[in-house]
Amino acid sequence: MLRNYIRLNIRNILHNKGVSSINVFGLAIGIMAVLLIFQYIRFEKGFDKFLENNERLYRLVFYRYYQTGLDKSVGNNYFIGQIAAERIPEIENFCRVKKETLFIRAENEIYKEDRTLFADSSFFDMFSHKIISGDKSIFLRQPDKVVITESTAKKYFGDENPLGKIILAENPGKKPLTVQGVIADVPGNSHLKFDLVISLSTVTTPSYCYSCNNTNTYFLLRKDSDQDKIAGEITTLAKENFSEREVKIDFPVEFHLQPVTDIHLNSDYRFEFEPNGNSKYLSILLVIAILILLSAGFNYLNLYSTVTGKKISGIGIRIINGASGKNIILEFVTEGLITGLISLLLAFALLFLLFPLIKNLLSLNFNIETMFNFRSWLIPVIFLVVLSLITGLFLGLKIYNVTPVTFFKGEIGLSRKNQSRYVFLTSQFIIAIVLIGCTIGAIKQISFMQKEAFTMNIDQTLVVKRPASREFNTVQRSFQEALLKHPGISEITFSTIAPGEKNGWVKGGISLKGKEKVGYQLFQMDVSPDFFKFFNVNPYCREKFLQ
């Protein structure tokens, strides 16, 4: 019996190729968009959950209560992590991490490495990364040692074994670093992305700024530890350490512990290693996915009822000849499920073919392989099954519960005057208007940020970043002079950060001339004298800035 229903429904679909094709493709495109959104949401929510013991990993956050407001920073001094680990039994391990940009010379080639970390020897004990080669027990235990990722090893040495090879850190002078190990590339859903990890003891020389808040500190807590209690103890220890080192602080401070798995979506503090996501945006995307599903569902119901209307006479004859309500309803449900299954398979095929283009266009960090996950398909499959059942039951019951003569008088409730179709069409248009309006607004905002917000010709402006190391300050002037000799460069300027970048440099406890010291917090950047002229800042504003 079921085989007959399947054959009958396939014949009905082929008999109405035009409407059925629109129905299938429309539903498939909607499902494809929803699958992509769900996968993105799943990817964002999965940050750092690949780490072993991720539920026990925490990052230290430094709260400073200035008169102008609360400052939250993940930058901490060198001592606080070690002191806390030594004095608090609930802390099982700790690690300090510092991120910098280095120029690395390998095999007579120089590479700019923006994702370079300096870390304690406990780094690979706390953060579980797959070891490709090397002995993890000796990683970063000595100065001048480095561990690199698999793709970095391939870039530097090709197919050669990188273990024991020397690379040079090209700051003024050359610092030799010995490769101790190779690990698998860091997953895209990690807040701590890197290509090289160098032992922190390499830079902790007598000239290192041990009191600067320039290092991220992580803790591995023992099971069932009270993170709030531990954070309070760290605050007490830190204040004692400040007092011992005669560091005077004129504003309240405290420390908090943040779960590593919360970092990507729930923090935007100073000294973040990279821009984080936002849980609110994921909620908006989820609403958009639901609206797309509803719109596709309404479109499906409208077109399906249109196809049903074309074969209404044949259905009436079958009912007159004794077809039961169960048979009619089962026929509609089966046809709905077949259409849904075809749409689902087509959605997967479209996503598989178009994903490389979509990934490049939207700068996505996950791969198509992650789409082969039961959870990614669960909601669309449930939606299709429920939609097919509702459609089949609704139309089957509506058709069967009419008198036979109604079929031949044309009074069946699937005509164009059917009020339910108007409701579906109106809802579909409202959803479409909302989505189109939001898209237009987003496009205009992006266009404004890319074009109208700039006061200079951005296409003719090039940003060159040099390492922040102080050793480069001595060659800054000669570098500028060399640049101006280039025939393609008309003028230059410099600043400690590029316009538009997040500024992490703050000053607290500012002393105004002729007045007592106040606890204001000011964000600071150093610029050259011609900085505002270079960027064509309004003259009135420029005069105010330079007064």
Dump pLDDT digits (tens) for 446-497: 666 656 656 666 777 888 777 666 666 677 778 888 888 888 888 888 888 7
Most confident residue range from 305-309, 453-457, 503-507: 503-507
What mean pLDDT is predicted for residues 287-297? Answer: 83
Q: Are residues 105 and 189 in the same domain?
A: yes
List Cα–Cα distances, 107 to 98, 133, 152, 154, in angstroms.
Answer: 26, 20, 13, 12
β-strand pairing of 216-221 with 57-66: antiparallel
Q: Are residues 290 and 426 in the same domain?
A: yes
pLDDT at 183: 97
Higher per-residue confidence, 209 vs 317: 209
List the single range of 11-15, 251-255, 326-330 with lowest mean pLDDT: 11-15
Cα–Cα distance for residue pair 344/283, rounded to 1 Å:
24
Number of domains in the chain: 3
pLDDT at 25 exceeding the cut of 60: yes
What mean pLDDT is predicted for residues 184-190? Answer: 93
pLDDT at 300 exceeding the cut of 70: yes
CA–chain centroid gap for 517, Å, is 41
496 CB-side CA count, 13 A:
12
Q: Are residues 323 and 427 in the same domain?
A: yes
The answer to whether 314 and 30 are in contact (CB under 8 A) is: no
Q: Using only the alpha carbons of the chain, give its radius of gyration.
A: 32
Cα–Cα distance for residue pair 361/445, rounded to 1 Å:
18
β-strand pairing of 253-259 with 91-106: unpaired
pLDDT at 144: 94
- Tokens describing residue 225: 């530890």
- Tokens describing residue 202: 């390499």
List the single range of 3-7, 165-169, 233-237 with lowest mean pLDDT: 3-7
3-state secondary structure 324-345: CHHHHHHHHHHHHHHHHHHHHH
Confidence of residue 416 (pLDDT cuts 50, 70, 90): very low
Place of tokens 């407001």: 69
What mean pLDDT is predicted for residues 376-400? Answer: 71
The answer to whether 351 and 28 are in contact (CB under 8 A) is: no
pLDDT at 441 exceeding the cut of 90: no
The answer to whether 29 and 358 are in contact (CB under 8 A) is: no
Task: Tell me the percentage of the chain whose pLDDT exceeds 90.
Answer: 29
Q: Which residues of 317-354 are buried (b: 16+ CB within 10 A; e: fewer)?
A: eebeeeeeeebbbbbbbbbbbbbbebbbebbbebbeee
- Domain end residue (candidates: 207, 230, 250): 250
pLDDT at 379: 72
- Tokens describing residue 396: 């089957």
SS3 506: strand
pLDDT at 218: 97
pLDDT tens digit string along 99-112?
988 889 998 899 98
456 lies in some domain: no
List the single range of 212-221, 239-248, 371-380 with lowest mean pLDDT: 371-380
Structural domain containing residue 81 = 68-250
List Cα–Cα distances, 368 to 44, 348, 364, in angstroms.
Answer: 15, 11, 10
List Cα–Cα distances, 318 to 11, 120, 333, 410, in angstroms.
Answer: 16, 79, 17, 16
β-strand pairing of 131-133 with 57-66: unpaired
Among the residues of 363-462, which ranges form H helices?
374-400, 404-409, 419-447
pLDDT at 415 exceeding the cut of 50: no
Q: Are residues 209 and 287 in the same domain?
A: no
β-strand pairing of 506-508 with 521-523: antiparallel
List the single range of 86-95, 364-373, 535-544 with lowest mean pLDDT: 535-544
Q: Which amino acid does the sequence have at 320?
A: I
435 backbone φψ class: left, alpha, beta (φ>0; ψ -120 to 50): alpha
pLDDT at 216: 95
Closest CA to 220 of 83, 81, 63: 81
454 lies in some domain: no
Q: Are residues 415 and 523 in the same domain?
A: no
373 lies in some domain: yes
β-strand pairing of 145-149 with 196-199: antiparallel
- Domain end residue (candidates: 432, 447, 462): 447
536 lies in some domain: yes
Q: Are residues 110 and 246 in the same domain?
A: yes
Listed in sequence order, the residues at least 6 apart from 279 whose beta carbon sits closer than 8 Å to its beta carbon are 265, 266
Task: Tell me the percentage of the chain whose pLDDT exceeds 70.
Answer: 73
List the single range of 108-117, 245-254, 362-371 with lowest mean pLDDT: 362-371
The answer to whether 485 and 121 are in contact (CB under 8 A) is: no
pLDDT at 507: 66
Q: Are residues 287 and 189 in the same domain?
A: no
pLDDT at 18: 60
pLDDT at 426: 72
Q: Are residues 414 and 478 in the same domain?
A: no
SS3 126: helix
Listed in sequence order, the residues at least 6 apart from 411 whose beta carbon sits closer than 8 Å to its beta carbon are none
List the single range of 130-134, 228-232, 349-353 with lowest mean pLDDT: 349-353
- Tokens describing residue 104: 């690395």
pLDDT at 233: 95
Q: Are residues 100 and 183 in the same domain?
A: yes
SS3 514: coil
Confidence of residue 262 (pLDDT cuts 50, 70, 90): very high
List the single range of 49-53, 148-152, 194-198 with lowest mean pLDDT: 49-53
100 lies in some domain: yes
Q: Are residues 321 and 246 in the same domain?
A: no
* 221, β-bridge pairs: 91
Cα–Cα distance for residue pair 516/502, rounded to 1 Å:
30
pLDDT at 450: 59
What mean pLDDT is predicted for residues 500-513? Answer: 67
7 lies in some domain: yes
Cα–Cα distance for residue pair 541/459, rounded to 1 Å:
24
| Average pLDDT of the chain to the nearest whole number | 80
265 lies in some domain: no
The answer to whether 393 and 329 are in contact (CB under 8 A) is: yes
Cα–Cα distance for residue pair 518/512, rounded to 1 Å:
8
List Cα–Cα distances, 202 to 107, 230, 297, in angstroms.
Answer: 22, 30, 61
Cα–Cα distance for residue pair 114/116, rounded to 1 Å:
6
Q: Are residues 108 and 206 in the same domain?
A: yes
pLDDT at 532: 80
pLDDT at 528 exceeding the cut of 60: yes
Element (H, E) at 302: helix 279-310
375 lies in some domain: yes
Rounded to 10 degrees, what is the CA torsion of 405, 411, 412, 418?
-170
pLDDT tens digit string along 334-380?
777 777 788 888 888 888 888 888 888 877 877 776 666 666 677 77
Q: Would you say how long the chain is, in residues?
A: 547
pLDDT at 231 exceeding the cut of 50: yes
Q: Are residues 234 and 103 in the same domain?
A: yes
Sign of CA dihedral 380, 381, 386, 391: positive
